[in-house]
């Protein structure tokens, strides 16, 4: 749990949008609505994602604000699951089944339709036995100051986070540019703009 202890490798964002009055009750509903949910079928192989408690990836209820809203900080995590079958292992089993079919039916080759059926059956069997690949990314959001940290440098993970964050809260997370840290210093912002170094927060400049 790098957000709560240990070293941090993060991306920083500024949150654009207005936090409404009574946001705590609204956020409980929003977090619960976008919390992680296990697929109904063990054969599900599409990616599944949602919020979880930062303390334990199996905790998906956000009714207790004291477990994820600490004064001015909202602390939670993005969980992304996907079942992935090992390609070489899968192909080895499929080859054995094709060989067995040829021997049983006295054929040299497996017809494409039969091979497709064998492949589908094998995939379902292995999916039932396979645990998902689980990825958990912690988030810390300083609500009053409008900035947050995402504990991942992966472009893909950050894209997933920003999309779910917007769907959940109706707020946009903009990546921090390094010059954002000095943009508010007297005289620095105009100088950087004049040099063409950055758009300095777009319209906010």
Reading the chain (205 residues) residue by residue, the pLDDT tens digits are: 555 555 568 899 999 988 887 788 889 999 999 999 999 898 998 899 999 999 999 999 999 999 999 888 999 999 999 999 999 999 999 999 999 999 999 999 999 999 999 999 999 999 999 999 999 999 999 999 999 999 999 999 999 999 999 999 999 999 986 655 555 555 555 665 665 655 544 444 3
Count Cα atoms within 13 angstroms, Cβ side, for 101: 17
Give CA–CA dist 68/160, Å, rounded: 20
For 39, the enclosing helix (H) or strand (E) is: none
Give CA–CA dist 88/47, Å, rounded: 21
Which tokens go with 37?
């949910």
Q: 115: burial class by Cβ within 10 Å (0-12, 13-18, 19+)?
A: middle
pTM above 0.75, yes or no: yes
Q: Check residue 200 and give its pLDDT.
A: 47
Domain ranges across the chain: 11-82+132-170, 87-129
CB 60 within 8 A of CB 35: yes
Neighbouring-strand partners of residue 73? 70, 142
CA 65-153-75 angle, 5° bins: 5
Which tokens go with 175?
């990546």
Q: Check residue 178 and give its pLDDT.
A: 60
């Amino acid at each position: 749990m790098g957000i709560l202890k240990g070293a941090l490798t993060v991306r920083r964002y500024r949150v654009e949008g207005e936090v409404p009055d009574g946001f705590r009750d609204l956020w409980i509903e929003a977090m619960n609505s976008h919390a992680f949910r296990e697929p109904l079928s063990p054969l599900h192989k599409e990616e599944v994602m949602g919020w979880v408690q930062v303390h334990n990836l199996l905790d998906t209820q956000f009714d207790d604000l004291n477990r994820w809203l600490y004064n001015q900080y909202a602390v939670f995590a993005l969980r992304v699951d996907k079942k992935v079958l090992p390609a070489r292992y899968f192909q080895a089993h499929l080859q054995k089944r094709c060989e067995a079919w040829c021997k049983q039916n006295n054929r040299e080759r497996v017809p494409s339709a039969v091979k497709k059926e064998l492949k589908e059956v094998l995939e379902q069997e292995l999916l039932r036995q396979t645990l998902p690949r689980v990825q958990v990314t912690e988030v810390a959001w300083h609500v009053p100051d409008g900035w947050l940290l995402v504990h991942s440098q992966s472009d893909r993970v950050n894209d997933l986070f920003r999309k779910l964050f917007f769907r959940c809260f109706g707020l946009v997370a903009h990546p921090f540019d390094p010059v954002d840290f000095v943009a508010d210093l007297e005289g620095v912002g105009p100088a950087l703009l004049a040099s063409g170094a950055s758009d300095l927060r777009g319209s906010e400049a």
